[in-house]
Amino acid sequence: MTIREATEEDWDNIWPIFHEVVAKGDTYAYHPDTKKQEAYFIWMKRVKNTYIYEENSQILGTYFITTNYTRHVCNCGYMVSSAARGKGLATKMCEHSQDIARSMGYKAMQYNFVISTNIGAVRLWEKLGFETVGRVPKAFKHPREGFVDALIMYKWLAD
């Protein structure tokens, strides 16, 4: 298992994960029909850094880190291939991202738009020390649940 910074050459292997997650329309606010070129800009260019979780030369997960409005707070987004879910990849990527954030000088991490019906993610972020500091009522149109809340989750990283 390796978590490393993604390269341009990794995009063709990141894209299937991005597409699979976003096409379901239930955990990210990106349009379910996001095209590959737009996704590339979102996941690889609009952010400070993108990382991949790789095992046996296969990319199973990915995350990005970027500044979140102020210089000392960062934001991250995580995606795991359906074939690798339930194996602790999101935990490992989140822990890795916190170490990276600290090394980049960030003092806190904030998730701006955690879909409230994404119970697995909410539980994991809470387990890893994040608090829900805000709730945006009916901010997301879930494909099955209708309008649901989005959570703002936050963790202070500095000692």
pLDDT digits (tens, 9 = 90+) for 47-65: 999 999 999 999 999 999 9
pLDDT tens per residue across span 91-128: 999 999 999 999 999 999 999 999 999 999 999 999 99
pLDDT the model gives residue 158? 87
The pLDDT value recorded for residue 84 is 95
Q: Is 65 left (phi over 0), alpha (psi -120 to 50) or beta?
A: beta
Q: Calculate mean pLDDT across residues 74-86.
A: 96
What is the pLDDT confidence band of residue 26, given thresholds at 50, 70 and 90? very high
pLDDT confidence bin for 157, thresholds 50/70/90: very high
pTM attached to this predicted model:
0.95
The domains found in the chain, sorted by start residue, are 2-156 (3.40.630.30)
Sole residue written with tokens 């990382």? 51
